[in-house]
């Protein structure tokens, strides 16, 4: 019998976030050749496989390298036998500034999705749950149509219109997705690169979490743009933080290191310029910023939509055993 430990204590026990490890645990139990252990203390088990809530990069400025999450990651990473829970790449369509009760309700109603990378947190380095065979492609596209309906996404054509170039920032020095690239450092480098090719107005949008690091980044960027024309900042530090969807809808193009806040550009018909090869939606990268005034956006979006649908799962997908049935023979 194969064994997996669900390290539920790597998330906030008792919160809406714990709905996910509980559902994962329930789903594995539908498969009798597997034994799942639900772990709520700070211990490590001898299970062959593991589930961990999100990834904690080594040297994270906010969390200790001695945390239980880091212990789990270090134990299971060498053999790459670990699942992570990460947020929905198109989470921005779920609503703006949702409270916890609403998030819990939506999760229980199967109106929220997560992705579960295996072996590595970065999508291009972990296990693939999707291939391009006709049968599986069609199944994934059917899933996409249902997700699109629930999220009320209207996929728009590229039309070359927009009032500004939007730069969306990761958390930067915090978290894993920016690979420790400071948010303001990335923003300044991107502004200077854009200005070689375009005089369009630029909006820099910081991450929604206003930490001490983000506040300092905001101050540095504010100082940098003092003598610059047509550059503004969206941040909770200056109480200018509108819903991202209309901001993207009114943009000409979107630039990002790898922030999921930029992903709606794929649906809204906006050229995307992505810096990190580890970005989950790097397939839709429009190339070098040098072509920003003559963009070459990826027009065949269905492959990405199918891959998205095949790698994102709701609570029922997990608790019913559907997800585990899909991946157990791939690991």
Q: Over the stretch 309-328, which tens digit does the pLDDT of each residue have? A: 989 999 999 999 999 998 89
Residue 134 to residues 27, 131, 137, Cα–Cα distance (Å): 27, 9, 5
- At CA 267, angle to CA 100 and CA 53, rounded to 5? 40
Residues 319 and 275 in one domain: no
Residues 83 and 174 in one domain: no
Start-to-end CA span in the chain (Å): 15
The position carrying tokens 């990761």 is: 170
Specify whether the CB–CB gap between 208 and 216 falls below 8 A.
Answer: no
137 domain residue, yes or no: no
Residues 291 and 316 in one domain: no
Residues 177 and 284 in one domain: yes
- The DSSP 8-state label assigned to residue 9 in this structure reads G
Question: Residue 316: which domain range?
Answer: 2-131+311-327
Pairing of strands 202-205, 231-234: parallel
pLDDT at 174: 65
211 domain residue, yes or no: yes
25 domain residue, yes or no: yes
Residues 176 and 204 in one domain: yes
Specify whether the CB–CB gap between 238 and 218 falls below 8 A.
Answer: yes
264 domain residue, yes or no: yes
The string of DSSP codes covering 88-145 is: -TTGGGG-SS--HHHHHHHHHTT---EE--BSSSSTTTS-------HHHHHHHHHHHH
Specify whether the CB–CB gap between 301 and 282 falls below 8 A.
Answer: no
142 domain residue, yes or no: no
Residues 98 and 30 in one domain: yes
pLDDT band at residue 57 using 50, 70 and 90 as cut-offs: low
Gap between the Cα atoms of 283 and 303, Å rounded: 9
Residue 99 to residues 91, 95, 96, 103, 214, Cα–Cα distance (Å): 14, 10, 9, 6, 22
Strands (E), the chain: 2-7, 34-39, 49-53, 82-87, 114-115, 165-168, 202-205, 231-234, 253-256, 272-274, 312-313
Residues 118 and 179 in one domain: no
H/E element, 304: helix 302-311
Residues 169 and 291 in one domain: yes
287 domain residue, yes or no: yes
47 domain residue, yes or no: yes
- At CA 265, angle to CA 245 and CA 247, rounded to 5? 30
286 domain residue, yes or no: yes
Phi (first) and psi of residue 244, to 5 degrees:
-70, -30
How many domains does the chain contain in total? 2
Gap between the Cα atoms of 111 and 46, Å rounded: 35
- Averaged pLDDT of the chain: 90
More confidently predicted of 174 and 185: 185
Of 82, 245, 257, nearest in space to 167 by CA: 257
Q: What is the pTM of this model?
A: 0.92
pLDDT at 135: 54
pLDDT in tens, 195-239: 999 999 999 999 988 888 888 999 999 999 999 999 999 999 999
Residues 294 and 173 in one domain: yes
The residues facing 312 across adjacent strands are: 115
Tell me, what CATH number does 219's domain have? Answer: 3.40.50.2000
Residues 210 and 246 in one domain: yes
pLDDT in tens, 121-170: 877 776 665 555 555 778 899 999 999 999 999 999 998 999 999 999 99
Residues 108 and 229 in one domain: no
Residues 250 and 317 in one domain: no
């Amino acid at each position: 019998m194969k064994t997996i430990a669900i390290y539920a204590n790597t998330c906030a026990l008792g919160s809406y976030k714990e709905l996910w490890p509980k559902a994962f645990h329930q789903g594995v139990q539908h498969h009798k050749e597997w034994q799942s252990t639900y772990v709520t203390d700070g211990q490590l088990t001898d299970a062959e496989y593991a589930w961990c809530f999100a990834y904690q990069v080594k040297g994270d400025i906010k969390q200790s390298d001695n945390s239980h999450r880091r212990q789990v990651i270090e134990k299971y990473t060498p053999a790459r036998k670990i699942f992570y829970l990460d947020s929905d790449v198109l989470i921005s369509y779920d609503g703006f500034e949702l409270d916890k009760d609403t998030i819990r309700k939506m999760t229980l109603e199967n109106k929220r999705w997560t992705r579960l990378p295996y072996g590595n947190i970065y999508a291009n380095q972990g296990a693939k749950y999707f291939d391009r065979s006709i049968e599986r492609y069609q199944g994934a596209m059917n899933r996409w149509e249902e997700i699109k309906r629930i999220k009320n996404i209207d996929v728009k054509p590229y039309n070359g219109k927009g009032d500004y170039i939007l730069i969306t920032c990761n958390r930067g020095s915090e978290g894993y997705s920016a690979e420790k690239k400071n948010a303001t450092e990335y923003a300044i480098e991107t502004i200077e690169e854009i200005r070689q090719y375009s005089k369009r107005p630029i909006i820099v949008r910081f991450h929604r979490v206003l930490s001490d690091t983000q506040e300092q980044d905001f101050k540095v960027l504010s100082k940098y743009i003092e003598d610059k024309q047509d550059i503004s900042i969206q941040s909770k530090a200056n109480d200018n933080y509108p819903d991202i969807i209309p901001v993207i809808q009114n943009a000409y193009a979107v630039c990002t290191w790898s922030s999921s806040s930029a992903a709606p550009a794929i649906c809204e018909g906006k050229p995307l310029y992505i810096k990190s090869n580890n970005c989950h939606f790097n397939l839709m990268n429009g190339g070098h910023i040098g072509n920003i005034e003559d963009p070459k956006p990826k027009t065949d979006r269905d492959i990405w939509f199918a891959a998205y649908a095949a790698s994102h799962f709701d609570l029922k997908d997990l608790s019913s055993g559907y997800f585990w049935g899909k991946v157990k023979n791939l690991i």
